[in-house]
Amino acid sequence: MDWRQLQRDLAAGSIANLYVIHGEDTWQVDRSRTSLMGLIPQTEREFNLVHLDGSALHMLDLEAQLQIGLLGDRKVILIENLRPMMKGNDKEEDSSQLGSVEEEQKWLYHLTHSDNILVLYFYQNLDKRKRFVKQVLNAARVVECPSLKNKRDDMVRIIQDLLQSKKLRADYAVIDHLVQIAGSQIGIAEQEIEKLALIFKPDQPILLKDAQPYLSPSAELNVFQLMELITGKKKVQAMALLTEILRRGEEPFRLLGLIRYQLRQLVRVQQLQANKVSEANMVQALGMGSYALRKTVLQAKAFRPDTLYELLSILVSTEEAMLSGTMDKNSALELLMAQIFVRVQ
């Protein structure tokens, strides 16, 4: 299934105990993950919403989480990058993770025999040839989040679907303008359509001249420029740009998602460079122009690989603080920016 089918299932009350979300489209993975997080009421999230780092997770840690008593109806346990399911681990697996068939079966038992909702998510495609991966996928509801192949045509189709879901009738010029704003980011398109749904009545024809005053400049470009300033060690200008973006009314969660996307792009650039992939193939793999790629390569050089993963972990904590209300959204973003800045090498 895709993220839209997942949302339909959840809305219909069809909920499983094990989900696997995987793919290279960051927004789709995040949207699916957030939809499942929404199963836990805000008042219970401190106790019943758990995030675990699967790359360092031991079976005893998972067992402990599964045994902790609930204060609500259920618990959602999110595990990012469960190591036994990751690519390239066949020679690296140790006895604490997946050292034998017996170990596989123990992991599989814990994943499939829980009264909680387990969500395994990966910002990459899984290797379905691996025996353990096959077993888990067969037992789970799988949400696939592939990157857009023909980006423009796919985005046009997705925007048309999103408009239809809101019962909006937009002229093709509006759709074309939304494609230009969103680029390859489905989340940006969705945010813009949400604004149109607040302004225009269902089935009312929407012309570009009527919609344009309400549509934002590309937030994707804003975040790219923000990362340019940060990696250029221009802290004052970076914070000024963030303040201006927020002043214009950009949604902090939207910006957070775009920052996550950009950091993951930097990770992918470093991985492709380590594998000696040519610039032409990197352009194709990342879905960006050669100029944007060269800029992204320079941004990636500003961070060590382990630092990028550390920042992605900090970003998760920022998201939790924003969701729980323990920190003002704008302040949380400003703190995140400061944490990124001090890690530029």
Which pLDDT does position 300 carry in this prediction?
Answer: 93
Give me the count of residues in the chain.
345
d(CA 149, CA 125): 14
d(CA 76, CA 4): 20
Higher pLDDT: 236 or 69? It is 236
Which pLDDT does position 93 carry in this prediction?
Answer: 43
The tokens describing 229, both together, are: 């300033």
Amino acid at 27: W
Residue ranges and CATH numbers for the domains of the chain are 3-144 (3.40.50.300), 151-214 (1.10.8), 219-341 (1.20.272.10)
- 91, pLDDT greater than 60: no
Average the pLDDT over 234-256 and give the result: 83
Amino acid at 265: Q
Q: What is the pTM of this model?
A: 0.55
Query: Bridge-partner residues for 205, per DSSP?
Result: 169
Write the CB contacts of 316 (distance below 8 Å, at least 6 apart in sequence).
51, 80
The tokens describing 139, both together, are: 């037992």
**For residue 13, how many other CB atoms are within 10 A of its CB?**
6
Taking CA atoms, 271 is separated from 185, 224, 276, 282, 303, in Å, by 22, 20, 9, 10, 13
| CB burial of residue 247 (10 Å; 0-12, 13-18, 19+) | exposed
If pLDDT is split at 50, 70 and 90, which confidence band does 152 have? confident
d(CA 186, CA 148): 10
Higher pLDDT: 287 or 238? It is 238
* Among the listed residues 224, 182, 162, 231, the one whose alpha carbon sits nearest the alpha carbon of residue 25: 182
Average the pLDDT over 178-197 and give the result: 78
Computed over its alpha carbons, how large is the radius of gyration of the chain?
21
Strand, coil or helix: what is 302? Answer: coil
